[in-house]
Amino acid sequence: MGNVMQRSRGILGSPQESTMLLLNVQAGRYHELNEVASRIWELLAQPIDDDEIVATLLAEYDVTDADCRDQVSAFLRGLTERGMLEVV
């Protein structure tokens, strides 16, 4: 870990009750994020280190360090594969 990243341009977001609905304009695809994924998406509004994301989530949610790191890594990898995340 230790990569600095942020949201890619061209992704529109609309908060829902406890989720976030995203539209990848270039791909023409919608994505629905759960509460924790929505929080990560909020954090990605500015360049942020993935270790900072993990530290924030550990402070806000009842989760172990190992589980949090695994889940954050998987989520960020998925965003990168979909072209929704840029490493800066």
- Residue 17's pLDDT is 86
pTM for the full model? 0.91
- Residue 35's pLDDT is 94
Please state whether beta strands 11-15 and 29-33 pair in parallel, antiparallel, or not at all (unpaired): unpaired
Residue 84 burial by Cβ neighbours in a 10 Å radius (0-12, 13-18, 19+): buried
> Side chain identity at 40, as an amino acid letter?
I
Residue 66 CB contacts under 8 Å (≥ 6 apart), including other chains: none
pLDDT by residue for the chain (88 residues), tens only, comes to 678 999 998 899 999 888 999 998 888 899 999 999 999 999 999 999 999 999 999 999 999 999 999 999 999 999 999 999 998 8
